[in-house]
Chain A
Amino acid sequence: MTTHFCTASARGSASDAGTALGNALSERLAGHDPELVMVFASTSQPLAGVSAALVQRFPGATVLGASTAGEFTEEGDGKQGAVACAMSGDFKVSAGLGSGLSADPQRAVEQALGGGAQAIEGYSHRSALMLLDPLTGRGEEAVLLAGARLGAGVPLAGGAAGDDLQMSATHVGCGTSVESDAVVLAVIHSRVPLGLGVSHGHRPLSEPMKVTRASESTVYEIDGRPAWAVWAEQTRASAAERGVDPNALQDSEVGAYLLRYEAGLPAGAELKIRAPLSRNDDGSLAFACAIPEGATLRITESVPEAQIESARRAARQARERAGTKLAGAIVFDCICRNLILGDRFGTAVDAISSELGGVPLAGFETYGEIALSAGDMSGFHNTTTVVFAVAE
């Protein structure tokens, strides 16, 4: 049975956008009932309202959603809107939402998985999708817990929800349940493998420095000095080339500034990118996930050309791993890449689409990306493109 994958985008109120998305997807599905619908909505269309409309429109489908910092399909990218994709075909989906991610990530992941991790006879391949609230600072823990539970043979892809750079509250949804401080997990049981690709385009800016005081996702001191002071000092010269002075930033501007200059934790020959999200009054920095005290980090920056090339690389990897003709793709791409690329973010989306053969794709700009394959020992990424390719 052929897999059908289609996308749609909409604007307006939550209910209007949800209705418009439902109408467009239904038309493009041409009579096929979807097993899975995913919706990515800006803060202008509260997720609960959009999801409710889609659940009503597609009562037999699993509907998953996340709030965003930007949305895109193969037709273009934008802000303050909503996009959705629908998949129909010979596969089965089990999904759930787990609450209280910040207080007890293990319990939340178990609740989200329920009994859905078990294999289904006749469907020899399993893949998983994850959406989570990154403001909990529990991104890496949640991914590792899910990975341990699912096993090495189940690739895991996903993204951390956004809120248009407000850094106030993000939401994830499963069916009509939409919450903050939560994680959503879906297991897709299929007869053919789905393809996962991941890549980032960052380079080190500073020398290695030591995190001398940290607690969970807050870094207080680096080399014995307040974290923000170190960040401003190390990034000043690079920022000056763009006419920006970190010491003159308004509080509301710091979040976007930090997303351009992220931390890299050395892991072998690679750097594991970690995104600082906000500055606290005491000069500490809040990150998208835990940074262990004692870790060594380097401040990094990204060059636009490297961002576009890494997006292409992620798409190529996903296509090669799927190993067959594609029906579509779901893309999780970091908001900071949009900030770096500006008007050229659409070029990166086009590069992904071109590499995938022009199939429909839907995605959103995230506060963190999730990719865990067999052999990986870490699955939460920042400033990275993750492509989840669906075979036809």
Chain B
Amino acid sequence: MDLASHLASALGETKALEVVRAAAAGLQIPREQIQREQAYEILDAIAKEPGLVGITASFVKSRLILQWG
């Protein structure tokens, strides 16, 4: 699952990759096979960042929940 691509529209690709990698590493989630619940965990962690980064993560999570159920 390419979480960074969902964040890239607001943050740009470089920043999106950086925040996903950092959050995944902090949660000890391997980036290679992110499951749905793990994706939500990663986005929750990113959502704690201040400003646009955190708000973007919250928004993306809300849209993915609508998409995935």
Contacts and interface: CB of A to CB of B under 8 A. Distances in A.
A141 interface: yes
Nearest to B13: A266
Interface string A264-289: 01111000100000000000000001
A148 B59 contact: yes
Interface in B10-56: 10-15, 18, 51-53, 55-56
B66 interface: yes
B53 A105 contact: no
B26 to A, nearest CB: 17
A290 interface: yes
Given A105-B55, A377-B10, A295 B15 contact: yes
Q: Is the interface on chain B under 10, 10 to 19, 20 to 34, or 35 or more residues?
A: 20 to 34
B51 to A, nearest CB: 6
A145 interface: yes
A297 B12 CA distance: 8
A43 B18 CA distance: 42
Contacts of A144: 10, 55-56, 58-59
Nearest to A214: B15
A263 B8 CA distance: 15
Interface in A121-158: 140-141, 144-145, 147-148, 151-152
A78 interface: no
A296 interface: yes
Contacts of B51: 141, 216, 290
A295 B63 contact: no
A253 interface: no
B23 to A, nearest CB: 14
B52 A292 contact: yes
Nearest to B50: A216
For B5, B6, B12, B18, which residue has the most chain A Cβ atoms within 10 angstroms?
A: B12
B14 A210 contact: yes
17 contacts: A106-B55, A148-B58, A148-B63, A152-B63, A152-B67, A216-B51, A265-B13, A267-B12, A268-B9, A272-B10, A290-B52, A292-B53, A293-B15, A295-B15, A296-B12, A377-B8, A377-B9
